[in-house]
Chain A
């Protein structure tokens, strides 16, 4: 039996998957299809024939896509003036590539700065590298977006000073055994830097002329969701490039040892740091450039693991009911549960990022809600079990950080669960959840700042 609605849905997701057609544009084309089908049916055609004919009339998908792609590049005026395969455009592409390669080198060279101050030995001064790694990795990406998005100069420089401020703080703060506050700072730096990169990704909030509210700056929920998508894809690209890099390094070491040359020094001091800190700008460039190619990998991964994770968590709840919490290192346990919550949040975020709000409630919404609720239950059980033991031992830096994270993540998931319930059962729009979630990101950045800036003095730099 021919089902028009499901056929239309398949057609729609096919159009979207080819990339370069925005959600609204597909909506417009879908309306067009429906109009055509209605007309044809009124003229006596069956629904199936009408659908096939309408799709055929719309033109083949790839050439329509090609036309759209011409429109959706950011420099629209270039499209109006020159053809897309013109030398000017090719030159622009090439200069961007050169810029990105420069940025990748810059990341590696930044990582050599400690060596200038006599801290060249990574093994002996690992802490210095760890604390500054975030800067080496993220600073070039910020520069990349500055150029790519043509961000206003002085605002960008102001945002870049956050890197400087961070560098000053972590390198000026003393650190005593057992270096817990310093470690915490290093662990929380990526959160702060991701938040900062979100600014560079979205650009400042500049309202278009005559409009009070701006829709596309870094504060807008949709830009933030795009950034999350971007970050996930960059991570995947980064891992892939990294795997290639490992092969390259192993081959280098292996083959040069055949001719009796020891390249360990070169590999450790140059190849590894240059590769490691060069990955991020290259990955960012690739994600931005090849938007349509593997755009949906992160959500696909999230969808694969959402049901699997749900099963693990449900069995964990059952295990909790049968056994009481084993005695052990409370802090480590709490960190484990933090990780569980963070992974659940990540899965929910990426499932969210691929949701088409026009489809209505789907199986994935139910699964996501179930996952969130089970995660909350698991955490609550663990939390109450740990709490009593927790306060008896007094507060250390690590404990406080783990506790703070737990509260932050738990609050986030509870709000998300409420959002999903209201969306699924009270007919509220899905956008409400997105807006809430994207605003909540501010809290993570705030918390990261607290841990980086305030924790060391509070816990006397230990």
Chain B
């Protein structure tokens, strides 16, 4: 199953924020983890992640810093800000509204929908 482009674009910000909430990370790791948690269904074009990260940084949701990793390579790490936390809460509740609406429609018996 491949997600349509619009859905991928719209979900990128909340997913990245949720991931960074768990701890600071860098681009390559972020892509790997997202692929992992979505069973490979969310596969971003690698190069597209960075502009998204930079845009989020510009908006103040995340901050970046360079850090030497264990392998000796200097990596750009991203850290979620307070504004990012707040944004995440908003986005999460928005997605939750969609999710719940789908859920209710799914569970409801036929006649209730035709009211």
Query: How far is it, in angstroms, between the C-alpha of A404 and the C-alpha of B74 when the chains are bound?
Result: 46
Encode contact with B along A59-75: 1 for CB under 8 Å, 0 otherwise: 10001100110110000
Q: Are A31's CB and B46's CB within 8 A?
A: no
Query: How far is it, in angstroms, between the C-alpha of A31 and the C-alpha of B52 when the chains are bound?
Result: 17
A28 at the interface (CB under 8 A from B): yes
Q: Which of A31, A36, A63, A79 contacts B76 (CB 8 A)?
A: A31
A426 at the interface (CB under 8 A from B): no
The interface size of chain A toward B, counting residues with CB under 8 Å, comes to 22
Q: Are B51's CB and A67's CB within 8 A?
A: yes
Chain B residues with CB under 8 Å of A31's CB are 26-28, 73-76
B92 at the interface (CB under 8 A from A): no
Chain A residues with CB under 8 Å of B45's CB are 57-59
Q: Are B46's CB and A28's CB within 8 A?
A: no
Q: Which of B50, B52, B58 contacts A76 (CB 8 A)?
A: B58
B48 at the interface (CB under 8 A from A): yes
Question: Which residues 32-73 of A have a CB within 8 angstroms of B?
Answer: 32, 34-36, 57-59, 63-64, 67-68, 70-71
The interface size of chain B toward A, counting residues with CB under 8 Å, comes to 18
B90 at the interface (CB under 8 A from A): no
Q: Which of B48, B54, B59 contacts A25 (CB 8 A)?
A: B54
Encode contact with A along B12-32: 1 for CB under 8 Å, 0 otherwise: 000000000000001110000
| Given A36-B28, A79-B55, A80-B55: A67 in contact with B47 (beta carbons within 8 A) | yes
For the complex formed, measure the closest distance between the CB of A71 and the CB atoms of chain B, giving whole angstroms: 5
Q: Which of B26, B46, B52, B59 contacts A36 (CB 8 A)?
A: B46
Q: Are B51's CB and A71's CB within 8 A?
A: yes
Residue of B nearest to A30 (CB): B73
Chain A residues with CB under 8 Å of B54's CB are 25, 68, 71
Q: Are A25's CB and B50's CB within 8 A?
A: yes
Q: Which of A27, A29, A76 contacts B47 (CB 8 A)?
A: A29
A24 at the interface (CB under 8 A from B): yes
For the complex formed, measure the closest distance between the CB of B61 and the CB atoms of chain A, giving whole angstroms: 11
Residue of B nearest to A59 (CB): B47
Q: Are B51's CB and A32's CB within 8 A?
A: no
Chain B residues with CB under 8 Å of A25's CB are 50, 54
Q: Are B47's CB and A71's CB within 8 A?
A: no
Chain A residues with CB under 8 Å of B51's CB are 64, 67-68, 70-71
Chain B residues with CB under 8 Å of A34's CB are 73
Could you list 21 A-B pairs, sorted by A, with CB under 8 Å? A25-B50, A25-B54, A28-B76, A29-B47, A31-B73, A31-B74, A31-B75, A31-B76, A32-B28, A57-B46, A64-B47, A64-B48, A67-B47, A67-B48, A67-B50, A67-B51, A68-B54, A71-B51, A76-B55, A79-B55, A80-B58
- Top 3 closest pairs, chain A to chain B, by CB: A59-B47, A67-B51, A64-B47
| A interface with B by C-beta (< 8 Å) | 24-25, 27-29, 31-32, 34-36, 57-59, 63-64, 67-68, 70-71, 76, 79-80
Taking A28-B27, A59-B46, A71-B55 as known contacts, 17 extra A-B pairs with beta carbons closer than 8 A to each other, sorted by chain A number, are: A28-B50, A28-B76, A31-B26, A32-B27, A57-B45, A57-B46, A58-B46, A58-B47, A59-B45, A59-B47, A67-B47, A67-B48, A68-B54, A71-B58, A76-B58, A79-B55, A80-B55
